[in-house]
């Protein structure tokens, strides 16, 4: 693929070129990527140029009962955090790619929804690429497009045979637009870049991209792999230990989304409902409880008072069957919303709140961060996250922000009066736990960095520097990071 045909090493340009080839070879064959550089490049433009695709230990297998009749399976044991896929899109469209002042709207007959601008333009971009590269037609048209179209073949189809174009304005292959629209409708991803924060805003002009390999993964709301994007480059990592022969799932829609919204988003993939364990639990809670949970969560947005949000949080808790295990994803948003109300009060009345109230608020913040993490399946022992797992219902960014927030609460408690903390520790043991959290939390942060971000501290500073500054703990965190 990469041939070293240049020999003029004294020529600066050729040296740069050869270095670039070396890097692409490292990426392609060994999955070694300079994440900080790629992230920096993504900030200039999400259409990343200098990166190679990487395919980790995965294989495509025929699987009964799946929409496309196939899925991705582990050919060998996979460890937590292992890099499975780095893939450039076949085509991608961002809002800034759209002609200024123009709104492109389409109505999708499959989903009965108004098409988003970027997704509509994506169809023409994919067509354009196939037009220019007719040999790629087969790979795109071998993606699942719903039951009305022929089932895709197991392996990626061989390049389409095509005859030379006889007329300059005629494609060398048949581009069936309805079929292509259906392919995009089933397979397009929204490649939002990493920001270090979670956003639950659904924008009309969200970016849209088509990936040929990532599209072959099937969905689970509680997946064992998670995808993130640097610009339009998709990165898929294992979030759990995956045994040889096990299917690897990614989420098409976030598992923290309320049940009804999730089912609506997944309806075209699972007309009789998503069969994952989370959806089975939600269904067992009953539709009324799920609906009530969603209404109460919405009401939390409008209710600004701490007391009001506390009340709503306990009401949300009652919508889960007592027999349910700790996985209660909507509780993470509920805990976060109560935490936001407490933070707002702390910020507004920092110097007016009595010391005891201040401390109890900070302790509550810490408890809420821990509860939010527990509700998305992070296991705890003695109030500390344990186990070799990364979050699968949320991005690793959310998880790291929670860890930073918890560390910040602990720091605030310590800085106030260390001696008092020790006295309290003697009484309740709570401050002792906090000091343990500082040590173990940072170790855990390292694990998250290594597994979730590829072990790059430079990248961590780029992604979370501003948040760390906002929490006034730059010195502490950076000294821990080294």
257 lines the binding site for Zn ion (CB under 5 A): no
| Residue closer to Zn ion (CB basis): 138 or 274 | 274
Segment contacting Zn ion by CB under 5 A, of 25-33, 172-180, 214-222, 335-343: 214-222
Q: Cβ-count burial of 68 within 10 angstroms (0-12 exposed, 13-18 middle, 19+ buried)?
A: buried
What whole-number distance in Å separates Cα of residue 292 and Cα of residue 296?
6
Minimum Å gap between C-beta 229 and Zn ion is 22
**Are the C-beta atoms of residues 410 and 448 closer than 8 Å to each other?**
no
What distance in Å separates the CA atoms of residue 199 and residue 398, rounded to the nearest whole number? 10
Residue 271 or 482 with smaller CB distance to Zn ion: 271
Q: How far apart are CA 395 and CA 193, in angstroms?
A: 12
Helix (H) / strand (E) element for 278: namely helix 277-285
Q: Which stretch binds Zn ion (CB under 5 A): 171-179, 219-227, 319-327, 471-479?
A: 219-227
User: Which residue's CB is nearer to Zn ion, number 159 or number 275?
Assistant: 275
In the shown chain, the binding pattern of residues 360 to 389 toward Zn ion, with x for contact by CB under 5 A and - for none, equals: ------------------------------
DSSP state of 68: T
Nearer to Zn ion, 221 or 225 (CB): 221
Specify the length of the chain in residues. Answer: 482
Q: Give me the least distance between CB of 219 and Zn ion, in Å please.
A: 7
Nearer to Zn ion, 327 or 366 (CB): 327
253-to-263, 266, 457, 477 alpha-carbon distances in Å = 10, 8, 29, 32
The verdict on 279 binding Zn ion (CB under 5 A) reads: yes
CB 53 within 8 A of CB 86: yes
Minimum gap (Å) between residue 374 Cβ and Zn ion:
20
Q: Which part of the chain contacts Zn ion (CB under 5 A), choosing from 35-43, 78-86, 270-278, 339-347? A: 270-278
CA angle 456, 460, 461 (to 5 degrees): 120
Strands (DSSP E) contained in 206-351 are: 208-210, 218-219, 225-230, 233-238, 247-250
CA distance 294 to 317: 12
Residue with tokens 């990532």: 214
Which of 221/371 has CB closer to Zn ion? 221
Compute, in degrees rounded to 10, the torsion defined by CA atoms 99, 100, 101, 106. Answer: 30
Minimum distance from CB of 279 to Zn ion (Å)? 3
Comparison of 278 and 390: residue with beta carbon closer to Zn ion = 278
Q: How many residues sit close enough to Zn ion to count as binding (CB under 5 A)?
A: 4
In whole angstroms, the minimum distance from the beta carbon of 267 to Zn ion comes to 12
Q: How far is the CB of 278 from Zn ion (least distance, A)?
A: 5
From 98-106, 167-175, 273-281, 293-301, span contacting Zn ion (CB under 5 A): 273-281
> Least distance to Zn ion from the beta carbon of 257, Å?
10
Nearer CB in complex with Zn ion: 238/274: 274
Q: Which of residues 77-136 bind Zn ion (CB under 5 A)?
A: none
> Which positions ≥6 away from 411 have C-beta within 8 Å?
438, 473, 476
| Per-residue contact flags (x/-) with Zn ion for residues 220 to 239, judged by CB under 5 A | -x------------------
The stretch near Zn ion (CB under 5 A) out of 266-274, 300-308, 419-427, 465-473 is: 266-274
Using CB under 5 A, which of 276, 313, 316, 393 touches Zn ion? 276
Whole-number Å distance between alpha carbons of 360 and 344: 15
Cβ(107)–Cβ(115) below 8 Å: yes
Q: Tell me phi and psi for residue 133, to 5 degrees.
A: -130, 75
- Closest alpha carbon to 229 in 18, 88, 65: 88
Tell me whether residue 126 or residue 276 sits nearer to Zn ion (CB atom): 276
Nearer to Zn ion, 256 or 342 (CB): 256
Q: Residue 274, interface with Zn ion (CB under 5 A)? A: yes
The residues of the shown chain that bind Zn ion, judged by CB under 5 A, are 221, 274, 276, 279
């Amino acid at each position: 693929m990469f041939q070293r045909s240049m020999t003029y090493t004294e020529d600066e340009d050729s040296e740069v070129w050869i270095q670039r080839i070396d890097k692409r070879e490292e990426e392609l064959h060994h999955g070694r990527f300079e994440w900080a550089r790629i992230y920096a490049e993504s900030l200039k433009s999400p259409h990343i140029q200098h990166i190679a695709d990487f395919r980790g230990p995965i294989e495509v297998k025929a699987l009964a009962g799946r929409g496309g009749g196939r899925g991705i399976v582990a050919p060998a044991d996979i460890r937590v955090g292992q890099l499975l896929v780095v893939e450039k899109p076949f085509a991608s469209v961002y809002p800034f790619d759209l002609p200024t002042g123009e709104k492109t709207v389409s109505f999708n007959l499959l989903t009965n929804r108004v098409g988003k601008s970027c997704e509509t333009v994506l169809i023409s971009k994919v067509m354009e690429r196939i037009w220019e590269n007719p040999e790629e037609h087969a790979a795109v048209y071998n993606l699942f497009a719903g039951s009305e179209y022929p089932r895709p073949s197991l392996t990626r189809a061989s390049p389409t045979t095509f005859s030379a174009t006889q007329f300059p304005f005629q494609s060398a292959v048949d581009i069936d637009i309805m079929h292509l629209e259906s392919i995009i409708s089933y397979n397009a991803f929204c490649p939002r870049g990493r920001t270090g924060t979670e956003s639950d805003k659904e924008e009309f002009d969200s970016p849209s991209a088509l990936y040929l390999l990532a599209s072959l993964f099937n969905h689970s709301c509680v997946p064992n792999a998670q995808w993130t994007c640097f610009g339009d480059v998709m990165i898929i990592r294992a979030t759990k230990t995956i045994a040889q022969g096990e299917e690897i799932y990614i989420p098409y829609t976030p598992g923290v989304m309320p049940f009804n919204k999730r089912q609506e988003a997944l309806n075209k993939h699972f007309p009789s409902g998503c069969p994952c364990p989370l959806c089975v639990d939600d269904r067992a809670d009953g539709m009324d409880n799920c609906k009530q949970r969603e209404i109460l969560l919405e009401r939390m947005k409008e209710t600004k008072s701490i007391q009001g949000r506390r009340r709503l949080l306990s009401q949300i808790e009652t919508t889960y069957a007592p027999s349910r295990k700790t996985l209660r994803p909507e509780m993470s948003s509920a805990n976060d919303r109560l935490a936001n109300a407490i933070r707002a009060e702390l910020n507004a009345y920092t110097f007016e709140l009595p010391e005891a109230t201040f401390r109890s608020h900070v302790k509550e913040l810490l408890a809420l961060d821990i509860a939010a993490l527990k509700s998305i399946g992070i296991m705890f022992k003695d109030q500390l996250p344990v186990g070799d797992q990364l979050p699968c219902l949320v991005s690793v960014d959310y998880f790291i922000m929670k860890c930073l927030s918890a560390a910040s609460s602990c720091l605030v408690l310590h800085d106030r009066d260390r001696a008092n903390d020790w006295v309290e520790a003697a009484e309740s043991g709570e401050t002792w736990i906090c000091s343990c959290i500082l040590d173990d939390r940072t170790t855990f942060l390292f694990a998250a960095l290594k597994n979730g971000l590829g072990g790059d501290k430079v990248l961590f500073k780029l992604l979370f520097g501003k948040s760390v500054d906002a929490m006034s703990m730059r010195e502490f965190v950076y000294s821990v990071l080294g």
